[in-house]
Amino acid sequence: MRIPLEVGDQINLQVPYTVAGQQSTRVQVSCEGELSDVIEVPVAESMPGIFAYAEGKNQAVMFNEDFTLNSAAKPAKPGSIAVFYATGEGQTSPAGVHGKLAEPPFPKPVLRVSMTIGGLAVTDLPYAGAAPGFAGLMQINARLPKGVKPGNAVPVTVTIGGQDSQPGITMAVASDFVISNVRATGTNTSQDATLTILVDFVDPSGDATRGNVRVNFDINNGGIAGFGEFDQAGVSPGQTKGTMKLSFTFFGATFRAATNVPIKISIVTQSGIESNEAVGTFSVQ
């Protein structure tokens, strides 16, 4: 098949669907009447590649369920639908036509499409087929697994006909780590002050109960605010919900007498995942 090309240092082209089923095909370039040598190139049933910003690696070019571009500042929520773009899906049904912009009925790969996010299988793929209005572009709508571990570089893999997409593709996933019902007390000794916080939490990843956490806090009591590594109790490693007891000692400090003073806190896990900010009450015993 003859494919018109722009003259330049690099040639990007859509491989014709007509080579489907062949073991190899011949390629020749014509430039201003001059022909290149003919080369033989292998043909695979599929060779999926996910579009990304950095030369085919790192952050994928994709949309969150609310149509915002996925990024560390705009992560996707577990359980939500995310939209990815790929190519190299192989032959489709109805049969693909080289250079044709996709229109209804939208072609879908004849080979099986599957996906993993954060190493977990995606069990809900509402759509995997031609991107409307484009040629050679595949759109994949995937529901993020509920148990996917949050982070700014969660690995993503698309598999078509047993062939995996390129390694190194990532996306940003938000945390389902939620804290609520904060109760805080302060205790003074002759030299130090101890802050104790009881907080209810839900963390499907179980990350908040593995290792120490950092707590950002703000108490309207003598200007005490900041963050620290808190000792935690009342939970087991990997626990996904319950009540966490957090304690921290301020050396050489003293709380003022107080009852039901507002306290704002958020908790950061050892993986750097931060919860929501919760408001509770603080009293000095």
Whether residues 202 and 149 share a domain: the answer is: no
* CA nearest neighbour of 75 among 67, 85, 83, 64: 64
Is residue 61 in some structural domain?
A: yes
- In this model, does residue 272 exceed pLDDT 80? no
Report if residue 7 sits inside a domain: no
Residue 33 has what pLDDT? 84
For 184-225, write each residue's pLDDT tens digit: 999 999 889 899 999 999 988 888 898 888 898 888 765 555
Please give the tally of structural domains in the chain.
2
What is the structure's pLDDT at 221?
A: 62
Mean pLDDT of the chain: 90
pLDDT of residue 263: 92
Of 118, 101, 105, 113, give the one whose Cα is nearest residue 163: 113
Which of 121, 141, 173 corresponds to the end of one domain?
A: 173
Band of the pLDDT at 89, cuts 50, 70, 90? very high
pLDDT value, residue 170:
97
Q: Provide the pLDDT confidence category of residue 229 given band limits of 50, 70 and 90.
A: confident
Provide the 10 A C-beta neighbour count for residue 31: 10
Q: Residues 6 or more apart from 64 whose CB is under 8 A from it?
A: 70, 74, 75, 76, 77, 80, 82
The CATH number of the domain where 278 resides is what? Answer: 2.60.40
pLDDT score recorded for residue 8:
62
